[in-house]
A and B are shown apart, each in its own frame.
Chain A
Amino acid sequence: GAVVSQHPSWVICKSGTSVKIECRSLDFQATTMFWYRQFPKQSLMLMATSNEGSKATYEQGVEKDKFLINHASLTLSTLTVTSAHPEDSSFYICSARGPRGDEQFFGPGTRLTVL
């Protein structure tokens, strides 16, 4: 089956630094990828939709200048949390739309802790 990977699986950083999270579709090409954030004991919240070669579409309330998304190739999307603060600590999950068009495959998530 289709596999989506994320790197790193966890990261700890100091407040004020920037962190980049990678999302890769390993055995298929994904023109569309999605980024979610999940706080403890809460559901996944869609942050943005990333389309290869174009600007991401952000959900209402998500700061596009803080959460930079780049989808430069058909197998890679990156999320950069700029000037991270403790309140940005969360579980970040990406997913990729599958080749059939109606499937969505999720990565294992990246746990970000900002000290």
Chain B
Amino acid sequence: DAKTTQPPSMDCAEGRAANLPCNHSTISGNEYVYWYRQIHSQGPQYIIHGLKNNETNEMASLIITEDRKSSTLILPHATLRDTAVYYCIVRVGNSGGFKTIFGAGTRLFVKA
């Protein structure tokens, strides 16, 4: 599976948009970009995923560059409860052999 690179930590003011970048320069054509987050001492929570088009759901937006070598997760109005570690993962989608490998992630601190 392709590997990802994320900044180790970021700060964001409450109410502002949090933009979390991810580099995945070796992504394959059939690999999706997935984002999960993990709040302290809990299991990871799915946020969003995409292949090549931008995606939006009730939690976040995902912007994928045209060459698919990087992406940005956007939390439009960050709250204190969004403080967590955010993981960007690339993997194949509907495949019998997929497994999700976590990198180090980005620790997002939302400050009042």
Q: Using C-beta atoms within 8 Å of the partner chain, give the interface range for chain B.
A: 20 to 34
User: Closest residue of chain B to A57, judged by CB?
Assistant: B99
**Number of residue pairs A-B, CB distance < 8 angstroms:** 52
A28 near B: Cβ within 8 Å? no
Report the Cα distance A19→B20, complex, angstroms. 38
Given contacts A43-B102, A46-B101, A103-B46, contact A109 B41 (CB under 8 A): yes
Q: Is the CB of B100 within 8 A of A108?
A: no
Q: Which of the listed residues B42, B49, B99, B101 has the most CB atoms from chain A within 10 Å of its own CB?
A: B99
Residues of A within 8 A of B94 (CB): 100-102
Q: Using C-beta atoms within 8 Å of the partner chain, give the interface range for chain A.
A: 20 to 34
Q: Which of the listed residues B43, B44, B94, B101 has the most CB atoms from chain A within 10 Å of its own CB?
A: B43
Residues of A within 8 A of B43 (CB): 4, 6, 93, 95, 106-109
Report the Cα distance A83→B95, complex, angstroms. 35
For the complex formed, measure the closest distance between the CB of B100 and the CB atoms of chain A, giving whole angstroms: 6
Q: Is the CB of A104 within 8 A of B46?
A: yes
User: Closest residue of chain B to A110, judged by CB?
Assistant: B43
Report the Cα distance A93→B87, complex, angstroms. 15
**A-B contacts, 25 listed (Cβ < 8 Å):** A34-B99, A43-B85, A43-B87, A43-B104, A44-B38, A44-B44, A44-B102, A93-B44, A95-B43, A95-B44, A97-B98, A100-B94, A101-B93, A101-B94, A102-B49, A102-B94, A102-B98, A103-B46, A104-B100, A106-B36, A106-B43, A106-B46, A107-B43, A108-B42, A111-B41
| Chain B interface residues toward A at CB < 8 A | 32, 36, 38, 41-46, 49, 85, 87, 93-95, 98-105
List 3 tightest A-B contacts by C-beta distance, closest first.
Answer: A106-B43, A102-B93, A101-B94
